Amino acid sequence: MLKRTVTAVLLIALLIGLFALSYFVEHGNIFLDLFIWILLVGAVREMYFCMQHSGFKLFRLPLALFLITCYPVMYLMEHFLGQGFLGILIVFAVSALTALIVFTFADPERNTPKDLFATIFVTVYPGLLISLAWMLVQRYSAVYAIPFAIFLPVGADTFAYWFGSMIGGKKLCPSISPKKTVAGFVGGLLGGVLVSVIFFLIFEQFALLPAAGYVPFTDATWKSALVYIAIGLVGALAGQLGDLAASRIKRALGIKDFGTIFPGHGGIMDRFDSIMAGIVVLLVAFTIIYGV
């Protein structure tokens, strides 16, 4: 428990430092972008070795191509054409095509279509999902959007754990995650709403922390509050589904954790499974709200 707590405190301190650099230092977002890239590489590496451990023979070239080119292509297309998301999709498409070409000329006795599909799967999960965090940094306030994407699912996970531990009751998906309960699931939804309300109060209602680039959702406070609540519910739901999906994948691969980089917590994928879902939810929500 002590090891888990110390790791969590260090991670929070690191994130606060990165957000401070983004807030106070000109072009400080580059440090946050670098951190996202490190997480991306680490998460893909974890998935690669977990898949290899389970008998899949993934192709390294398309994965390396995605990891190396995704950020520069996204950055250039966003700053010169305003099409960063399209840049990410192009890199993904080229990486998938590369995987297909490598598979075509691979030894048919060594590699099967399963290896091709596994390679493309890892490019999407976690590759594509984590890379979307760069769009939150580039298009919206980094000190608002990224913390929101992190704390929304983390708050949902925390409340789900508290409610599940205190109330117990009927299991949610015992075949996937035996410890999760329906009460915990409901608690997670409440936790997501609470986090959203806190962000609404800090950034919009009272503007306690002015964030460069932040724009109110609507011209009416009550409308913005409803939008925040909706984002909290959807984000919490997506985060818990992301957590269940990760558990299902681990069961299918026959592993307990994706990695060991975070003592007491497991690997990058173990900590960011629900956060990846939060990134997607916020990116979709902001795109709808702001039209960009």
Q: What is the mean pLDDT of each run of 10 residues along the chain (292 residues)?
A: 78 89 87 96 97 95 98 96 96 98 95 97 97 94 89 94 89 89 95 96 78 74 92 97 95 93 88 94 93 72
Phi-psi category of residue 264: left, alpha or beta, with phi > 0 → left and psi -120 to 50 → alpha: left
Which residues touch 87 (CB under 8 Å, ≥6 apart)?
73, 74, 75, 76, 77, 78
Residue 235 has a pLDDT of 97
State both tokens at 127: 């590759």
- Block residue for tokens 């090891």: 3
Q: Is the dihedral of CA 189, 192, 198, 203 positive or negative?
A: negative
Residue 160 has a pLDDT of 94
Asked whether the whole model's pTM tops 0.85, one would answer yes
CA distance 188 to 161: 8
Which helix or strand (DSSP H or E) is residue 177 part of? strand 177-181
Total residue count of the chain as it appears in this document = 292
Give the count of beta carbons closer than 10 Å to the beta carbon of residue 14. Answer: 11
Q: Among the residues of the chain, which ranges form H helices? A: 2-24, 29-53, 60-81, 84-104, 113-122, 129-131, 133-139, 142-167, 182-200, 221-253, 268-290
- Classified as helix, coil or strand, 179 is strand
Residue 216 has a pLDDT of 79
Which residues touch 174 (CB under 8 Å, ≥6 apart)?
none
Residue 122 has a pLDDT of 98
Residue 211 has a pLDDT of 62
CA distance 139 to 135: 6
- 111, β-bridge pairs: none
Give the count of beta carbons closer than 10 Å to the beta carbon of residue 279. Answer: 29
**Which sequence spans correspond to the domains of the chain?**
2-290
State both tokens at 206: 């009272």
Which residues touch 98 (CB under 8 Å, ≥6 apart)?
61, 62, 65
ω into 126 cis (within 30 of 0): yes
Q: Is the dihedral of CA 35, 10, 213, 285 positive or negative?
A: positive
